[in-house]
Structure 1
Amino acid sequence: MPKIKSSFVKNILVGLALTSTAATANAQFLVMGGNPAGSLFYTQAQALATTISNHTGYRIDVLPQSGSVFFPMFQTQEADIGIASPVEAKLAYDAEGPFDGANGGDGYSMRTLMLGSVNRLSLVTREDDDINSIEELRDRRVVANYGAFAGSTKTALAALASAGLTEDDVDVVPVSSYPEGVRAVIEGRADAAVGSVSSGILQELDAAHGARLLPIHTDKAAVKRLQEVGPAFVPLEVDAGPVGIAERTPVLSYQTTLYTRPDLDEQVIQNIMEALWNNADELPAITRTLSTWQPDNYANTDVVIPFHPAAIEFYKEKGVWTDELQARQDELLNH
């Protein structure tokens, strides 16, 4: 993985710092990892940052980069928190796949604060191309290499795997980000790419050509194949209504997760969690995609990276930390 220099963050954020008002000059400054503009994660990161800032006084700037950029920045304290898919985070934590050899082979150190909204994804095509199944993508142009965006690459490969296909069965189109993948479909440079339900770029595709999210296969063998690609993926049925979903459709899903660097001040973590616990009802008003970012899902056994000790203490105070959660925490720590 490329090294992330301190000047990288400074160059991105210096303009924001120079325009700080006197009222925020003394506020604690935090950097939150998100994804590029146009992605679902970017919209969600902005909403979470706004809510946290409103109820803590912290100034939070969203870094429009994927986990492949901000996970290394956890190590250098250049980033403090960030949302990512558990698929990508687990690879980075274990130094596997595209993160092979990361941090000297030890992987990037991080901890879970909370599990949030369910993200729903599949391969998306132009409706006017009349492609109705993943099997029909054989020998077609499919965006299945997202470079540093490992989570999107895994999503594409898992969707293909559900239908018994691999990257060798398609003409792989490489891109550098999730929005660029859908844009390649819009512009006719690809026949299919990963599409995230309710993302802004998916609506652009729908306006231009119509969007169709392809159904994944959900039989036992198919689920085994797709989870061999990404263990965090869970099949989920989506009712007709969202862009790209004309009828009830099975797609891939996972819970978007809020991660932190392990050495972030515990009081800061407590304040962040209190703000989101007490004010979760504000999130859907900012973006309806966070309607399922609810306290009763923050701590559950689907977690793939250990919880931060300060998060565990928070959940104990709220009375939601269970023996099952402790067993899962012990399993992850001893892995």
Structure 2
Amino acid sequence: MRKSVFAAALCLAAPAVQAADFELPRQIAWTAYGTGSAGYNEAVAIGAALQDEAEVNLRILPAGNDVARMEPLRQGKVDFSLNGIGVYLAQEGVLAFGNDNWGPQKIRVLGTNSGGGVAMSIGVARDACDDAGKPDCEGFTYADVKGLRVAFIKGAPALNTNTSSWLAYGGLTWDDVEKVEFGGFGAAWKGMVDGTVDVAFSSTNSGVTYEVASSPRGLFWPPFDPSDEEAFNRLTAVAPYYIKSKGTVGANIDGTGGRDMAAFPYPILIGLDTTDANLAYNMTKAMFELLPAYSGKTPGIEGWAMEFQQFDWVIPYHEGAVRYYKESGAWSDAAQEHNDNLIARQDALAAAWDALKAEAPDNWEEAWAERRREALKAGGFQVAF
């Protein structure tokens, strides 16, 4: 592929290259999930495509929790973050992002992996089913997680919220299980292998789930019943970003006809509202133009295709990304209206945060929770958390 080199002010003041129809600096930096995760594996595959096709070096900074992935982006030390549902929590200013050092962030999406048959759930070590009185996991349900050892990731509110939501699906809370704390996602799943813990949350295609499935302990995904609306409502009351789906990719799922599960976009490539529009446009363009080069390199990565983008989801798209989607004919008036509403929601949260910061209440957590609810209700927005 012919490439031309010219000066650019984008990203780290590095010279840019033009490949195909996009222009990027010679080096781009992302944060991503820790090594062994599906998100990290996808970042590696995308990075290889950028290097091979455009001579762009993707520097990946793996991090074990949501705050560690968001902080470099907030400080301008990386260009983008290939993150998980923690970006929704950051947008909302809740949990770890509700303390007075953070607050609601004006997240902007470039694209998401919303297809490819990847689902999300808590996985159970098969030998733990014996402890629950369900040998070989026969008849084991989410309710049977009661009393088992469940992974809790320090500084990772997104992962823990997902675990909480699946406990709720089974009619349980953290009080019903034994909480085992870990410093990161990878460490928790190593604990699934070595017997330190019995239950942990993951996407079905994460590399660590395959490791557990092939270990002596084995791996079991409890059955999800899409017709049980009461249970699904308990799930979405904790995590409103879930949708019902068909899981066809993942440990103990590959090569089968698939199974009913639930999912949300993962991973999610984001910037901030302050991210340069041209950089966001070209990064988005590169993601789609290079899809044939990285497709098939890791399970479920095909879910980045245009047909799987969620323009009616819970976080707004960046103006630079929107420019690309408009050029591609994928963006609609309805998508624009929805995006504008999501941005207005972020603005309402930011205004409420700034006003409360000026007041400096002593009971920050309680005061912010109340002010946040008031601001969302006043604006006619959905109140989550």
Q: Give the TM-score taking structure 2 as reference length.
A: 0.73
Would the aligned equivalents of 2:69 and 2:83 in 1 still touch at CA under 8 Å?
A: no
CA distance, structure 2, for counterparts of residue 133 and residue 253 of structure 1: 18
Match of 2:247 in 1: 238
Kindly tell me the number of residue pairs found equivalent between the two proteins: 306
1:69-97 CA deviation, whole Å, 9 max, x = no partner?
A: 13222221101112222x31111122102
2:224 to 216, 231, 243: 216
Match of 2:93 in 1: 95
Would the aligned equivalents of 1:235 and 1:252 in 2 still touch at CA under 8 Å?
A: yes
Across the aligned residues of Structure 1 and Structure 2, the Cα RMSD in angstroms comes to 2.3
Would the aligned equivalents of 1:29 and 1:59 in 2 still touch at CA under 8 Å?
A: yes
Would the aligned equivalents of 2:30 and 2:80 in 1 still touch at CA under 8 Å?
A: yes
Match of 1:148 in 2: 155
Displacement, 1:101?
A: 2.1
CA distance, structure 2, for counterparts of residue 77 and residue 268 of structure 1: 14
Match of 1:122 in 2: 121
1:260 to 271, 295, 302: 271
The alignment-based identity, stated in percent, is: 22
Displacement, 1:176?
A: 1.9
2:308 to 297, 312, 331: 297
CA distance, structure 2, for counterparts of residue 94 and residue 243 of structure 1: 32
Q: 1:310 corresponds to which letter in structure 2?
A: G
Unaligned runs of 5+ in 1: 1-22
CA distance, structure 2, for counterparts of residue 97 and residue 199 of structure 1: 25
Please show how residues 171-182 of structure 1 align to structure 2 within 5 Å.
Answer: 171-182=178-189
Q: 1:108 corresponds to which letter in structure 2?
A: Q
1:220-269 CA deviation, whole Å, 9 max, x = no partner?
A: 11111111111111232325x74234785433311122101333332222
Please show how residues 1-335 of structure 1 align to structure 2 within 5 Å.
Answer: 28-65=26-63, 66-85=65-84, 87-101=85-99, 103-105=101-103, 107-118=104-115, 119-129=118-128, 130-131=136-137, 132-143=140-151, 145-209=152-216, 210-218=218-226, 219-239=228-248, 242-245=250-253, 248-256=258-266, 257-298=268-309, 300-302=311-313, 304-335=314-345
Q: 2:212 corresponds to which letter in structure 1?
A: L
The change in CA–CA distance for 1:103 and 1:50 in structure 2 (over 3 A counts) is farther
Displacement, 1:102?
A: 5.3
Match of 1:20 in 2: none
Would the aligned equivalents of 2:317 and 2:339 in 1 still touch at CA under 8 Å?
A: yes
Would the aligned equivalents of 1:114 and 1:259 in 2 still touch at CA under 8 Å?
A: yes
Q: Give the TM-score taking structure 1 as reference length.
A: 0.83
The SS at the match of 1:31 is strand
Q: 2:335 corresponds to which letter in structure 1?
A: L
Q: 2:320 corresponds to which letter in structure 1?
A: A
Would the aligned equivalents of 1:122 and 1:216 in 2 still touch at CA under 8 Å?
A: no
Match of 2:20 in 1: none
Match of 1:15 in 2: none
Match of 1:8 in 2: none
Structure label with greater radius of gyration: 2
